[in-house]
């Protein structure tokens, strides 16, 4: 079953609504399109087959084709401006089927159907109003229907980097001192960064630029030392540099390709869009890898002894990525004492995000996948069409580790524009609409940090200051 919780019963109910709506509209469907009972029987056969195998056998695939043929016939038969309720139930059904069925054959059938009805689907996606299941299907396609094997040698690229993090985190203090840089260039910082006015001992961060050891010009490095510092590599771990650079270059290449697609989509959806991110991201040298080592968490001070609880966002607090695109590796868990890789012992540990309905939900990145996070600058320049997602990292509860001190490792790569890039929304877009998209009380409001036309560097400065204030203890009312 899908992570989102949809079941075969949900699809059955959606098919019943679809048949009812179609009958109520008296749509002219081809002979043999099927009745409500026929659709139910076909779906039951598909669901039974899917419960025993990821991909469908030929007979079940034929049953699924018949269901999709019915849905396509309904979509094509509508053709009226007042038919959005019909379209919605069609795409609701497809969304739920798409999330439940994981085999490639089912994926290909859905993609083929969408190609056949692309004119209707594209129009619905471009509407100002939010059609819940139309947008959900777009998300479903991105998350479930895209073949995973898109980054050559992906696991070969990120696994060596993550495995070396334990060695790096436990270098002698004198060696770690040599990696420190006042402008946060390349280092394993532990207790150097701050959450409000308190040192952050929950994690260590090693920063590196995978594209260049001396990015930008000398003037850039003097003016923006936090954005384009020179790399510093640990002498004790010679293999770290080539592995980090290979991983970061692959992440940059994928994000550069995604930026080209963003330009294409935005050019169709917002005629005044002019960010031209494709070449900008491709040519940028503002590319910062961050190898993160999350040290075993201590129990939350207010947690009960038996609960063994940890803070909700104890490893990294709730925040939005401030820039443009962030590439993410899957995470890895290790025994902090030995460095041995271990399974995640706590189902609630790891990355959490705020979903579009405002709930906090866990995200597990499959081992063969790269995830890409949207930043707030991308939200602004796309007029709110793409939205930054609040996220945090929750620690392993000691009660789940069997006495082991379990650490977590990941390596995001922040791919951004030059600091002088103007962060402005497309002409004609409403500031209120841009700010309202993705609003969450868990992070400082975007409107308090972004002003129209501010440069990327200015925006980051305002964001750092606001997050610092946000993390300070709140005064207790008298």
Half-sphere exposure of 300 (CA within 13 A, CB side): 17
Residue-range definition of the domain harbouring residue 27: 8-145
Could you read off the pLDDT of 194-212 as tens digits, one per residue? 444 455 678 899 999 999 9
- How distant, in Å, are the alpha carbons of 14, 308, 310, 348, 398 from that of 305? 46, 6, 11, 18, 11
Which has more confidence, 2 or 94?
94
Of 145, 163, 183, the position where a domain reaches its end is 145
C-alpha closest to that of 297 among 162, 207, 390, 401? 401
Q: Which of 295-304, 306-315, 386-395 has the highest mean pLDDT?
A: 386-395
pLDDT of residue 199: 53
Task: Name residues whose C-beta falls within 8 Å of residue 61's C-beta, 6 or more positions apart in sequence.
Answer: 105, 106, 109
- For residues 243 and 103, membership in a common domain is answered with no
287 and 318 belong to one structural domain: yes
**Shared domain check, 169 and 33:** no
Q: Identify any residues that bridge with 177 across adjacent strands, giving them in sequence order.
A: none
Q: Which residues contact 145 (CB under 8 A, 6 or more apart)?
A: 98, 107, 110, 111
In a domain? residue 477: no
Confirm whether 476 is domain-assigned.
no
Phi, psi at 126, each rounded to 5°: -85, -5
Is residue 114 located within the same domain as residue 170? no
Which region among 179-193, 236-250, 285-299 has the lowest average model confidence (pLDDT)? 179-193
Q: Is residue 478 part of a domain?
A: no
The per-residue pLDDT for 377 is: 96
Q: What is the pLDDT of residues 112-168, one digit of tens each?
A: 787 777 666 555 544 434 344 444 444 444 444 444 445 889 999 999 999 999 999
Domain boundary among 122, 145, 168: 145
Q: Helices 8-25 and 84-100 sit at what angle, rounded to 10 degrees?
A: 160
> What pLDDT is recorded for position 299?
57
Residue 234: other Cβ atoms inside 10 A: 20
Claim to verify: residue 138 and residue 218 sit in the same structural domain: no
pLDDT for 327 beyond 70? yes
Q: What angle do CA 293, 299, 300 make, to 5 degrees?
A: 105
Give the pLDDT mean for 34-43.
88
Shared domain check, 133 and 162: no
Same domain? 132 vs 201: no
Number of domains in the chain: 2
> What does the alpha-carbon distance between residue 64 and residue 57 come to, in Å, rounded to a whole number?
11
Average pLDDT over residues 382-386: 93
205 and 135: one domain?
A: no
How much is the pLDDT for 375?
95
Domain final residue pick, 81, 112, 145:
145
Q: Is 226 within a domain?
A: yes
């Amino acid at each position: 079953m899908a992570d989102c919780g949809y079941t075969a019963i949900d699809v059955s109910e959606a098919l019943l609504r679809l048949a009812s709506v179609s009958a109520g509209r008296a749509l002219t469907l081809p002979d043999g399109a099927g009745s409500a009972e026929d659709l139910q029987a076909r779906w039951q056969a598909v669901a039974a087959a899917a419960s025993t195998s990821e991909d469908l056998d030929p007979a079940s695939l034929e049953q699924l084709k018949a269901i999709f043929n019915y849905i396509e016939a309904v979509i094509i038969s509508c053709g009226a401006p007042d038919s959005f309720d019909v379209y919605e139930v069609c795409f609701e059904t497809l969304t739920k089927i798409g999330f439940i069925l994981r085999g490639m054959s089912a994926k290909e059938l859905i993609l083929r159907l969408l190609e056949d009805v692309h004119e209707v689907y594209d129009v619905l996606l471009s509407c100002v109003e939010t059609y819940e299941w139309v947008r959900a299907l777009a998300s479903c396609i991105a998350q479930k229907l895209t073949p995973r094997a898109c980054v050559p040698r992906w696991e070969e690229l990120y696994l060596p980097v993550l495995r070396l993090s334990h060695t790096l985190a436990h270098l002698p203090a004198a060696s770690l001192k040599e990696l420190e840089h006042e402008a946060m260039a390349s280092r394993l910082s532990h207790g150097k960064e701050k959450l409000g006015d308190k040192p952050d001992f929950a994690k260590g961060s090693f920063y590196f630029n995978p594209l260049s050891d001396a990015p930008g010009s000398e003037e850039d490095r003097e003016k923006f030392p936090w954005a384009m510092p020179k790399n510093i590599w640990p002498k004790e771990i010679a293999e770290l540099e080539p592995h980090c650079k290979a991983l970061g270059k692959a992440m940059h290449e994928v994000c550069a390709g995604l930026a080209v697609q963003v330009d294409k989509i935005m050019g169709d959806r917002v005629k005044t869009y002019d960010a031209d991110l494709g070449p900008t991201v491709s040519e940028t040298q503002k590319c910062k890898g961050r190898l993160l080592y999350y040290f075993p968490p201590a129990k939350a001070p207010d947690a009960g002894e038996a609960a063994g609880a940890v803070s909700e966002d104890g490893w990294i607090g709730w925040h939005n990525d401030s820039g443009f695109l962030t590439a993410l590796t899957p995470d890895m868990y290790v025994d902090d004492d030995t460095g041995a890789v271990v399974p995640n012992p706590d189902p609630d540990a790891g990355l959490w995000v705020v979903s579009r309905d405002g709930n906090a939900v866990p995200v597990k990145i499959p081992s063969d996948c790269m995830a890409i996070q949207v930043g707030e600058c991308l939200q602004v320049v796309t007029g709110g069409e793409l939205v930054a997602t609040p996220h945090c990292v929750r620690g392993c509860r000691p009660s789940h580790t069997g006495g082991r001190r379990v650490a977590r490792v990941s390596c995001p790569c922040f791919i951004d524009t030059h600091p002088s890039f103007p962060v402005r929304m497309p002409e004609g877009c409403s500031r209120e609409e841009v700010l309202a998209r993705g609003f969450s009380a868990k992070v400082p409001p975007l409107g308090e940090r972004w002003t129209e036309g501010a440069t990327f560097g200015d925006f980051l400065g305002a964001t750092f200051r606001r997050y610092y204030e946000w993390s300070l203890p709140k005064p207790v009312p008298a």
